[in-house]
Amino acid sequence: MKSLEEKIKALSKFGTATIHEAIGREGNLPMQIKALNQSMRLCGPAYPVKLKPFNNILLHRAYAYSPTGSIIVADCQGGYEGGYWGDMLTLGSMQQGVKGLVIDGCVRDAEDIEKLGFPVFCRGLSILGTGKDGAGTLNETITIGKVKIAPGDIIVGDRDGVVVVPADRIDEAIEKSIAREEKEENVRRQLREGKNSLEIYGWGEKYGFETRRKN
Tens of pLDDT, residue by residue over 74-130, are 999 999 999 999 999 999 999 999 999 999 999 999 999 999 999 999 999 999 999
Does residue 193 lie within any of the structural domains? no
CATH code for the domain in which residue 15 is found: 3.50.30.40
- Comparing C-alpha atoms, which of 124, 142, 123 is closest to residue 51? 142
| Cβ neighbours of residue 14 closer than 8 Å, sequence gap 6 or more | 22, 156, 174, 177, 181
Q: Is the pLDDT of residue 1 over 80?
A: no
Does residue 208 lie within any of the structural domains? no
| Cβ neighbours of residue 79 closer than 8 Å, sequence gap 6 or more | 51, 52, 53, 54, 105
Does residue 93 lie within any of the structural domains? yes
Does residue 107 lie within any of the structural domains? yes
Does residue 185 lie within any of the structural domains? no
More confidently predicted of 166 and 209: 166
Domain that holds residue 132: 4-165
Position 213 scores a pLDDT of: 85
The whole-number average pLDDT for the span 198-213 is: 90
Does residue 205 lie within any of the structural domains? no
Does residue 94 lie within any of the structural domains? yes
Does residue 198 lie within any of the structural domains? no
How many structural domains compose the chain? 1
Cα–Cα distance list, 142 to 39, 102, 132, 146 (Å): 27, 13, 20, 10
Cα–Cα distance list, 186 to 22, 94, 201 (Å): 16, 41, 11
Tens of pLDDT, residue by residue over 144-196, are 999 999 999 999 999 999 999 999 999 999 999 999 999 999 999 999 999 99
Cα gap 100→120, rounded to integer Å: 6
